[in-house]
Amino acid sequence: MYAPLKPANRPLSHMKSTIYIEAIITYIVSEREETRRIQFTGKSSYIVSLPKQWVIDLGLKQGDQITITREGKSALKILPAKDQAKLVQQEDAILEISRDDDNATIVRKLVSLYFLGYKTIQIKPKADRLQPGQRNAIKSAVKGMLMGAEIISDSVDGITIQVLVNLLELSVDGAFKRMLHLAKSMLKDALLAVKEGNVELAKEVIDSDDEVDRFGFYIIRQLKIAIQNEHMLKDMGFDNARQCLGYRIIVKNIERTGDHASLIAKDLLEFKKPVRKDAMEKIESLNEFSTSVLDQACLALFKEDFNQAELAIKKSSEISKYEKRILESLKSIKDEEEAFRIKRMIGNITRIAEYASDIAEIVLNMNIEKMLKKRP
C-alpha cells in the first residue's frame, strides 16, 4: 500500500527550482516498516524525517535529543536519549531470591542472566539473608559453569558477580575448537577408563563435562550479543544472524557429545569392573570412526565448505555397518550384564556420528547460497 505525501502548498515552479525530494512511505503493516527517501537541504546536509507515529508513541517533542549509533556497515540505531540511558543500565542486573528458593532454581536464573549478556549480576535476598546452601550453590555455579565470571563481593547480604571475559581474548571459533577438543578427549578417556577399570579416570571424565558446558554457555552468550549488534556480528566472523542460530544448534550437539562420554564413564562407576579388552578394542575402533566424522563436519564448518559437509553426511551413514559388524562379533559373549554394557556403549558412540551428520547438514544450510549461480 503506497501513500504519497501531499505536496507543500507552494507554486509548482518553485518546487522545480528547489532541491526537494518528495518522500514515498511504504507501509508494511505486519512488520511496522517504513521506507523513506533521503532529502538534501542547504549546501551539505542530508536528512530523513522520523515517522510521526513513532515520535508520538515515545512521547517525544521538538527539541528532545536522540542518539544515533552506527551498527556495522549499513545499519543505524536510533534511540531517544532517555532510552539510551536505560539501555546502559541494563548492563547490570539485580536478582532477588527468597529464603525458600531452591538451589537449582537460583542457578537456572543466574545462567539465564549470563546468557542475556549482563556484565554485572547482583544476587540479593528479598528479606533476611542468603542461606549458606544458596551461597554455596551460587559460588559453585560461577566457578564451574560461567566462563569469565568472577565473584567480586560475597556476604550474607548478597553476592555480586562480574563477567570479565574479553571477546578479543577468546573468540567464538576459539571457544568452539577448545570445546570440541575437550569433548573428544572425554570420549577417548572414558573408553580407556572402562577398559582398564580405572575409576579415578572415569571420575575425571565426568568432572570434565562441566568444562564442556562452560564453553557452551560462553558461546551462547556471545551469540546473543552478536544477534543484537551487527558490528559485533561481523567481528565474530558471522555474515548474518541466521548463522548464529545454526551455530547454537551445533554447540548443543557438542555438549551432547560430552554428555555421552560422561554416560560411558558412569558405566564403570555403576558396575565397578572393566569390560573385556577384545570388545573394548572394537568399541574404540568405532569411536575413532565416529570422531573422524565429527572432525570432518566441524572442518566443513570452519572452512565454510559445502562439499566437505556433503562428504561428512555420506560418511556418517556408514556407522550402521560398523555397528552391526561389532554386534555380530559379540554374540559369543555369554555374560548378559557385560553384553548389555557393550551394547549401551555402542549406542552412545553411534550417536556421535549422528550429531556429526546434523552438524554437516547445518553447514549445508549456512553455505547453500554460495552454490547458487550468480546472475550475469
Q: What letters, b where the CB count within 10 A reaches 16 and e where it falls short, cover 219-249?
A: bbbbbbbbbebbebbeebebeeeebbebbbe
278, exposed or middle or buried, with CB in 10 Å at 0-12, 13-18, 19+?
Answer: exposed
Which domains are assigned to the chain? 1-49 (no CATH), 51-89 (no CATH), 90-163 (3.30.110.10), 172-369 (1.20.58.220)
Report the range of poorest mean pLDDT among 72-76, 169-173, 367-371. 72-76
Q: Which residue has the cell 553455505?
A: 367
pLDDT of residue 273: 92
Question: Could you tell me the three cell numbers for 242?
Answer: 541466521
Closest residue by Cα to residue 159 from 182, 131, 180: 131
Pairing of strands 158-163, 2-4: unpaired
Would the pLDDT of 145 be above 60?
Answer: yes
> Predicted confidence band at 284 (pLDDT cuts at 50, 70, 90)?
very high
Instruction: Give pTM, 2 decimals.
Output: 0.71
Would the pLDDT of 19 be above 60?
Answer: no
Higher-confidence residue of 91 and 169: namely 91
Q: For 234-252, what is the mean pLDDT?
A: 84
